[in-house]
């Protein structure tokens, strides 16, 4: 079935960078021989020196976007900072399985995700899958609206362009939001501390880390590729020309199940729905497509195969997997 084999693990080799701990509302500042743990209010929660003789080689800090937490490595040690704030030398039994990670997005870029190099390249095909996964891992306790500010207005503008399907304007707006609203290692912020000319200059103090900015951006990114309104699911409703191919897997749909899609040359190729509820669903595709092959699996065995008009809704049963492919105009 549809899957993404890529493992998302962005990293930095620059000592002292502040990194969000995936799966939490905490961030850490890590040096080769010292680390600090901060709350979203910039309060130091814990700090510890690492007994090691420097200078060290191969120092790096990785964000695990499948299981959560940070991995800190060098030639002399390896330890982990977990979403709970615990520092440990082993994650056995302390983090969920990477196989259960979802949702995931891939736009065809497989470069090593060194945050400093990602920032310099400014390629949203590389940035957006990392951004999407970081946003998906923000705890639901962060459900609050991004505070009214200049960056909050940029967020609203980006969502408006997605909803209104201004496809040629989506990527430039999201790139501006990524550069101004997030640091080098993608820690969210209200004000652009680098004064890049994206936002009006302001000398405000960063009172707290606006994790809600990251949380709210999840829906914006998802709506580019899949948008649900009740039992109607719009497939690739606002796909920008900059994203000609990609995969989106394990997106939860309310009262339906989980959805995965594959597209190439800006055209949908496969849609997979793992139904978790009984009911009716209507998948909305671009108007040029008229029919598709539909296969059904129940208890891992093929239970149905037919040609389906894309103008029809489909009755689904919980526990059944549905796969649309071989689309025809």
44-94 pLDDT, tens digit per residue, is: 999 999 999 889 999 999 999 999 999 999 999 999 999 999 999 999 888
* CATH architecture, range 244-329: Sandwich (2.60)
Stretch (H or E) spanning 198? none
- pLDDT attached to residue 250: 96
**Structural domain boundaries in the chain:** 11-97, 244-329
The pTM (predicted TM-score) of the whole model is 0.94
Residue 39: both structure tokens together:
């709350």
The closest alpha carbon to 1, from 265, 225, 259, belongs to: 259
pLDDT average per 10 residues of sequence, the chain (329 residues) = 93 97 97 96 95 91 97 96 95 85 93 96 97 94 64 91 96 96 93 80 74 94 97 97 97 96 97 96 92 90 86 93 94
Sheet of strand 301-309: strand arrangement:
104-106, 246-253, 257-264, 267-275, 320-328, 291-298, 301-309
Stretch (H or E) spanning 291? strand 291-298
DSSP helix/strand/coil, 30 = strand
- pLDDT attached to residue 97: 85
CA distance 236 to 243: 11
DSSP strand pairing (279-284 vs 232-235): parallel
């Amino acid at each position: 079935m549809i899957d993404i084999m890529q493992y998302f693990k962005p990293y930095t080799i620059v000592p002292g960078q502040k990194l969000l701990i995936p799966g939490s509302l905490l961030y850490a500042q890590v040096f080769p021989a010292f680390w600090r743990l901060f709350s979203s209010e910039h309060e130091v929660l814990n700090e510890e020196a690492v007994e090691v003789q420097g200078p060290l080689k191969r120092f790096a800090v990785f964000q695990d976007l499948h299981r959560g937490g940070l991995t800190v490595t060098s030639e002399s040690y390896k330890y982990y900072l977990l979403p709970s704030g615990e520092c440990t030398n082993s994650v056995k039994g302390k983090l969920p399985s990477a196989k259960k990670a979802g949702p995931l997005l891939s736009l065809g870029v497989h470069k090593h995700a060194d945050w400093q190099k990602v920032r310099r390249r400014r390629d949203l095909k590389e940035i957006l899958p990392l951004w999407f996964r970081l946003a998906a891992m923000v705890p639901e306790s962060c459900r609050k609206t991004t505070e009214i500010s200049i960056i909050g207005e940029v967020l609203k503008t980006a969502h408006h362009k997605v909803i209104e399907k201004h496809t040629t304007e989506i990527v430039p707006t999201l790139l501006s939001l990524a550069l101004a609203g997030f640091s080098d290692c993608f820690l969210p912020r209200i004000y652009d501390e680098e004064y890049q000319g994206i936002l009006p200059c302001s000398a405000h103090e960063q009172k707290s880390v606006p994790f809600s900015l990251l949380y709210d951006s999840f829906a914006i990114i998802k709506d580019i590729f899949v948008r649900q309104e009740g039992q109607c699911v719009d497939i690739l409703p606002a796909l920008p020309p900059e994203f000609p191919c990609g995969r989106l897997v394990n997106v939860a749909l309310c009262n339906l199940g989980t959805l995965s899609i594959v597209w190439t040359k800006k055209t949908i190729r496969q849609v997979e729905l793992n139904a978790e509820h009984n009911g009716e669903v209507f998948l909305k595709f671009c108007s040029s497509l008229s029919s598709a092959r539909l296969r059904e699996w129940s208890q891992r065995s093929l239970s149905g195969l037919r040609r389906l008009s894309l103008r029809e809704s489909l009755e689904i049963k919980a526990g059944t997997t549905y796969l649309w492919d071989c689309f025809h105009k």
